Every structure is written in C-alpha cells, then in structure tokens.
Amino acid sequence: MKNKRSLWKILRQVIKILFRLLMMLFKVIPLALSKFHKWLVKRLHFSITFKITTMYALIFTFVLLLFNTGICAATMAYLGVDAAEELDKNYQIVTSYLTESTEIPSENIEYLAKLEQVEITLFNENQKVLYTTGGNTIPAFYDQTNHVNFEGKYFLSFNRNYLPSNHFYTAIPYQTGLAIVLQDTMFWNSNNIHIQITHHLLKETISVGVLVSVLFTLTVVAIMIVIIIGWRTSKRMLKPVEVMTKTVKNITVNALDTRLDVTGSQDELKELAETFNSMLDRIQFSYEQQKQFVSDASHELRTPIAVIQGYANLLDRWGKNDQSILEESIGSIKTEAINMQELVEKLLFLARGDKNSQKLDKKAFSLQELIDEVSKESKLIAQDHEFISERCEDIVIQADRKLLKEAMRVFIDNSIKYTPKGGKIIINCYSQNDKAVLTVEDSGIGIAQEDLPHIFNRFYRADKSRTKQTGGTGLGLAIAKRIIQMHGGNIEVTSKMNEGTKIRISLPK
C-alpha cells in the first residue's frame, strides 16, 4: 500500500514537471520562432525580382495543381464508370447464360471471366458459394447496404444515380490496388441466386499512375520554365529601376544637374523618373537659391563688418585721444550696426516665412485708412514727389495691418527711389469680385523686361551699378512678396523703360 502511495506521488511530480516543461515550451517556441523570423528577414535580402518570380511561380503552381487534380479526378471517374459499364455487360451475359440452362454453365462463365479478366461468383439464398472462378479462394459476399462488412473493414458503396444501371456496386481494396464489385439477384431454377462480379482495377490504377507521373513531370518542367522566364523577364522589366538606382547614387551636391533617362518607356517607371527629375529640378533650384542667398548675405554683411573693423582699428591706433575721430568712429559703428541689425531681421523674417512659422495677427481694418496713413508718411519723407489717389474705395479687409503696411512701404519706397524729382506716384484701391485690389504706379525709369522675372529674388538689383545706399539690400521686394503670399494674395508687375512701373496687388477680403 505504501509502495503504491509513493509511486503515485512520484507519478504526480513527474506529471507536474512535464506540464511545466510543456507550458515553458508553449512560451519559448513562439518567442524563438519570432526571433528567428526577424533574424531571417534581417539577414536575407530578397530582391523585387525574386519576390515577383516567386509569387508568379506559386500562383502558376497552384493553378497547375488545380488543373492536374481536375484531370486526375475526371480520369478516375471516367475509368470507374467505364469499368462499371463493363461489369454491367458481363452481368447481362451471365444472366443470359443462366436463363438458357438449368445447370450452371461453368465453361461459358469461366471463358467469360478469362476473356474479361473478372472474377464471377454465384451465391445461393443463404449466401453460400454455388460456383466461383476464383479458384480455391472463397470470395466474400457483399450485402446491398450502404456499408459493407468485409474482414472487419467497412467500405462505402457507390451511389447508383451516377452509374449505368441499378445494380449494387462496391469498391474494395485489393492486392494490386482497388477492385470494383457488381452484385445483384436473379430468379433461377425456382430460387433466388446472387451474382457477384469482381473486376480488379489494375489497368486503371496503372493508367492513373502513369497520368499522375506525366502530369507531375510536366508540372515540374513547366514551373522551372516559368521561373527561368519569369526571372529574366522581371530582371529586364526592372532594369530601369537598377539604372535609376545607380544614377541616384551618383547624384551629389556637385552633380545636381544629373537627370534620369525617361526615353524608351511608357509605363509607371517613366512617371516615377519624371517625378524624380522634377524633384531634382526643384532641389537644384532651391540649392542654387540658397547658394546665391548665402553668397549675397555674406557680401552684404562683409561691408558693415569691414567698416566696423576699420573704425575699431582706427580707434585702437590713435583715435582714443582724438575727439573728432572718436565721435566719427562711434557714429559710423552705430550706423553699420543698425544696418546689420536690419539685414539680420529681414533675413530672419524670410527664414520664418520659408518655414511657414511666421504668425499673422489678422484684424479687420479699412484699407483706405491704411493708404492715407502711408501716403502722409511718404509725403513727409519725399516732399519732392507728387502723391495722387485717383480712386480709393472704402474697403474693409481681414489682414495683419503691420505687415501689410510694411509691404506697402516697400513698394512706395521703390517708386520714390526710381522716380525722378517731380515725378508722380499714384496709389489706388478698389473692389473687384471678391478681391481687394491695391495699385502703386509711378512715372519713374521703369524696369527692363529681362529683369522683371527676377525683381522679387533675394538680393537682386535690376541696376547693378547702384550702391547699398541707393539700391538697398535687395531684400525689400522679396519680403513684400512673402507678406502678400502669406495673406493669400498675388502680385502683378508691368513696366516700360522711361515710362514707369505699375504694381497690382490682389488680396482676399
């Protein structure tokens, strides 16, 4: 009794240990498989050609398997029905032999069995063998039920609806494969006898085996051909991608003018190449602008820095004790510092505009009042110019008043700068559809047609001979344009040499 208890305890402990190990395996195996999958994906590099070829090969293999399965199933069904028809003919012949004789026509039945390569057995009412062509082997009797009991094994019978007659057919396993059995009853010599004909499906089995072998061989060969052709076709179709990759790898800052070749293709790759070329155009344009911007900014800052440095050296040498030199140096340094501060503020404004980080303080105000205010200030500054307002409607707009005033000051200052003394500057505003239109027109020297597309570029000066004092830094118009764009407006400039310039600004109300 004690041995049984101790054995039971040991058995329980072993079961617990096995259960814990099993639970650990359930936890460890998925984790290990996940890590292995990540490692495999990381280590293996599958190209697009490999993926496309593999995908189409799998699809082709699946289609072939379905096709071959259908062929094999149809062939097996045809051979089975054909064998059943042959059995039905044999049954009709056996019944005719029995009808014509009161004794069992053994010679005829034996001849028929050898000729048709079937096994014919006659049973009495008690399912005892009356005659058989099977030699010493006693054949089994198959009942006409849905399930047939034969040596402890059950085999499903055929559905009669799919066979040539209403006889009972049964498929049974045999040494050489399958066998089909026809069994039916007839009245002979005042008794019911059972006729059972067995046909061994050796030829049919061999035929199906040969068919499967041929289909398998053809499938393998076809898959290999598809893989080879698919691989080469994919490589050829993706050749432009390889060329694009090599071209892009060779693009550097010093070779931004390199473009992808889009000739010879009329597909999505051409659209991709054109899009990439367009992107390179924008990058190159931006890079050239940035390069020019840095160069111009350096040039603009170099002058005040040089001036400040020169006056600092002058003070260091002998200006400490000379009051006049000291005052001149301090004044010039202050002036250049102010110029540098203004330049830096303008650059920061443009930089914030490029990043769309400049905030607008929009409020409703009268555009007419803003024009009157700017006109009065301009008259005080440029008293030798005539300011006229021919048409100025009372329009209320929603905008940043401070920035919009700064933009207007830029346009008016430019008109003052390039209009001779006594010239006219006309400022108008009016409504047009859902826009507020503001125009600044002067009778100045005008702008050359080749310079018009560039006047809003940073640091650009139409008159290269002008100095900073007369021409400014070249950032005013760029800032003014940025302000108008931030308000959702647009600018149009028309000009004729020695006749004047007209700037038309449209703003949403």
Q: How far apart are CA 391 and CA 439, in angstroms?
A: 10
Ranking 179-193, 299-313, 436-450 by mean pLDDT, the lowest is: 299-313
CB 407 within 8 Å of CB 367: no
At residue 150, the pLDDT reads 39
Per the prediction, the chain carries an average pLDDT of 79
Q: What is the mean pLDDT of residues 460-472?
A: 55
Domain annotation for the chain: domains and CATH numbers: 69-210 (3.30.450), 268-353 (1.10.287.130), 359-508 (3.30.565.10)
Q: How far apart are CA 62 and CA 51, in angstroms?
A: 16
Q: How far apart are CA 241 and CA 355, in angstroms?
A: 33
Residues paired with residue 431 on neighbouring β-strands, in sequence order: 436
At residue 473, the pLDDT reads 64
Sign of CA dihedral 75, 80, 83, 89: negative
Q: How far apart are CA 20 and CA 296, in angstroms?
A: 76
More confident residue, 228 or 152: 228
CA nearest neighbour of 348 among 258, 255, 475: 475
- What crossing angle do the helices spanning 476-486 and 401-417 adopt, rounded to 10°? 140
Q: What is the mean pLDDT of residues 27-47?
A: 72
Residue 148: is its pLDDT beyond 50? no
The percentage of the chain sitting over the pLDDT mark of 90, rounded to a whole number, equals 8
Residue 464 pLDDT grade (very low, low, confident, very high; cuts 50, 70, 90): low
pLDDT tens digits for 62-115?
Answer: 899 899 888 988 888 888 888 888 888 999 999 999 888 888 888 898 999 899
Q: What is the mean pLDDT of residues 266-270?
A: 69
392 secondary structure, DSSP code: B
Q: How far apart are CA 503 and CA 501, in angstroms?
A: 7
At residue 2, the pLDDT reads 47
CA nearest neighbour of 481 among 431, 420, 410: 410
At residue 334, the pLDDT reads 82
CB 486 within 8 Å of CB 403: yes
Tokens 């700037």 belong to: 503
Residue 457: is its pLDDT beyond 90? no
At residue 502, the pLDDT reads 92
Q: How far apart are CA 98 and CA 485, in angstroms?
A: 110
Residue 467 pLDDT grade (very low, low, confident, very high; cuts 50, 70, 90): very low
Q: Tokens representing 428? A: 């108008």
CB 155 within 8 Å of CB 178: no
Residue 491 pLDDT grade (very low, low, confident, very high; cuts 50, 70, 90): very high
At residue 45, the pLDDT reads 64
Q: Which of 71-85, 138-152, 268-282 has the highest mean pLDDT?
A: 71-85
Residue 159: is its pLDDT beyond 60? no
Quick check: helix, strand or coil at residue 100?
Answer: coil
Listed in sequence order, the residues at least 6 apart from 102 whose beta carbon sits closer than 8 Å to its beta carbon are: 189
At residue 151, the pLDDT reads 39
pLDDT tens digits for 110-130?
Answer: 999 899 888 888 988 888 888
More confident residue, 400 or 168: 400
Counted residue by residue, the chain has a size of 509
pLDDT tens digits for 246-258?
Answer: 777 777 767 777 7
Residues paired with residue 171 on neighbouring β-strands, in sequence order: 180
CA nearest neighbour of 68 among 226, 212, 225, 224: 212
The percentage of the chain sitting over the pLDDT mark of 70, rounded to a whole number, equals 82
Listed in sequence order, the residues at least 6 apart from 134 whose beta carbon sits closer than 8 Å to its beta carbon are: 119, 121
CB 120 within 8 Å of CB 195: yes
